[in-house]
Amino acid sequence: MILDKSLTAILYALPLKIRQALYSLSPEIQSSISEIRLRKNLPVALTVYDKTLFLKTNGQTYLKYASDLLICDEQTLNDCFNLLCEGSVFAHEKELREGFIIMQNGSRAGVCGNLSGGIMQNVTSLNLRISREVKGCANTVLQNFKYSGLLIAGPPASGKTTLLRDLVRQLSSGDAQKLYRTAVIDTRGEIAGGGQLDLGLSTDVLNCSDKAKGIEIALRTMSPDFIAFDEIGNLDELYAVSQSFLSGVGIITTAHIENLFDLKSREITSRLLKSGAIKQVALMPRKIGDEIKIISVKELFNDNFI
């Protein structure tokens, strides 16, 4: 039985033998899975916290390869891909050009294979990501928040989007100094989870593929106190952020980094931090559960800061 609602939401995309194995997992593991990875002719793998667990048919898990693991053969992989596409690859063609499919719950499923001429063929691996609400995970950040621009930075799968989601929920529900109007630019449906996740009482969600355009629209039409979005990535988005800053609207966004050097050396993040739109950085730990560090941008650029 699956009791975890976040996991239940993606079961429609999994072939029967994988679902049956998941049913046998302990509730603790079910509620801690962040990814289900299927690779052609290789064992089914689960990302649980910061570990990879290989799955057996009976629901047991292993940290290392074993001879009796649940193998994802080519037919199982193709079945999962077709279920994700809900019978129409064409309907997801635009997403597939970017290497993912948006699932029913708003989460992304990463897709690898042969991408030729904008068409994904011969799928070799799938990564089904599970969006989760962790209410209260932004408490520490909120206690140290200066109610201005914030960059949430950390390695992949460190919980950046989960933290952003909970911070938005708290800001827009009056858990902070007051109730803040927040506009979320959700380019992949992952922050709001297709409307199924709680973003608070005064959050407006704009689903669009162009983040820069989305920021412009929100700024012009929704009079937000904050604009939040995932993964700043190009100069157009940086310009839109600068316009928000000049309009007095706070920005909350995320960035993939491996270390502090990345923050200051990469063009986009360096220019973002120097723009004045970001006042604080929340550094996500490599290990889930470890402390989130909050530092000011001024402190970050201090030569004595380590």
Domain 5-129 has CATH 3.30.450: yes
Domain ranges of the chain: 5-129, 139-300
Q: What pLDDT was estimated at residue 288?
A: 67
Q: For residue 280, which amino acid is it?
A: Q
pLDDT number for residue 65: 85
Whole-number average pLDDT of the chain: 90
Residue 32 φ/ψ, nearest 5 degrees: -115, 0
Q: What is the pLDDT of residue 133?
A: 84
The DSSP code for 258 is S
pLDDT band with cut points at 50, 70 and 90 for residue 25: very high
**Per-residue pLDDT at 305:** 55
Please indicate whether residue 277 or residue 287 has the higher confidence score (pLDDT).
277
pLDDT at 21 over 80: yes
Give the lowest-confidence range in 41-50, 88-97, 269-278: 88-97
**Does 304 score more than 70 pLDDT?**
no
Same fold, 5-129 and 139-300: no
The average pLDDT across 288-301 equals: 86
Tell me which of 276 and 188 has the higher pLDDT.
276
CB atoms inside a 10 Å sphere around CB 35:
17
- Domain 139-300, CATH homologous superfamily name and number: P-loop containing nucleotide triphosphate hydrolases (3.40.50.300)
Average confidence (pLDDT) over 28-47: 94
> Quick one: pLDDT at residue 209?
82
pLDDT of residue 303: 59
Q: Give the pLDDT mean for 261-289.
A: 88
